[in-house]
A = this chain, B = another copy of it.
Amino acid sequence: MDMTSALTAFSALSQQTRLEAFRLLVTAGDAGMSAGDIAEALDVRQNTLSANLAVLLQAGLVRNQREGRVIRYFADTDGMRGMLGFLLQDCCGGRPELCQPLIEDLTCGC
């Protein structure tokens, strides 16, 4: 993950519809969600959501897959990991005490 990709990723998540869509896909997990279902869940117009999903795609934060007439979207964990890794790079250069509580906090019980 380089600076440009990271910027694209953060930029993608800095808009309400996209952040909501991404979180929806994170909780949906491997099941993913169709574009239509996402649009309905978020109550946004079809073309607006489509444009926003395209932004998330280009940022590498989601993947999609055609299934007949529907297109199913999934959160891309690799992309998310790359972004977070870039952000936290060298966060604990010799200072585990800075990094450790953050990690623990993110384990969300699993």
A residues contacting B by CB (< 8 A) are 3, 6-7, 10-11, 13-16, 19-20, 22-23, 26-27, 29-30, 77, 80-81, 84-93, 95-96, 98-103, 105-110
Closest to A109 in B: B92
Choose from B16, B88, B107 the contact partner of A108 (Cβ within 8 Å). Answer: B88
Listed by A's residue number, 15 A-B pairs whose Cβ atoms lie within 8 Å are A3-B20, A6-B19, A7-B15, A10-B11, A14-B14, A26-B90, A29-B93, A29-B98, A81-B102, A85-B105, A85-B106, A90-B108, A91-B108, A100-B110, A106-B106
In Å, the complex CA distance between A40 and B7 comes to 21
In Å, the complex CA distance between A93 and B108 comes to 9
Residues of B within 8 A of A108 (CB): 85, 88-92, 99
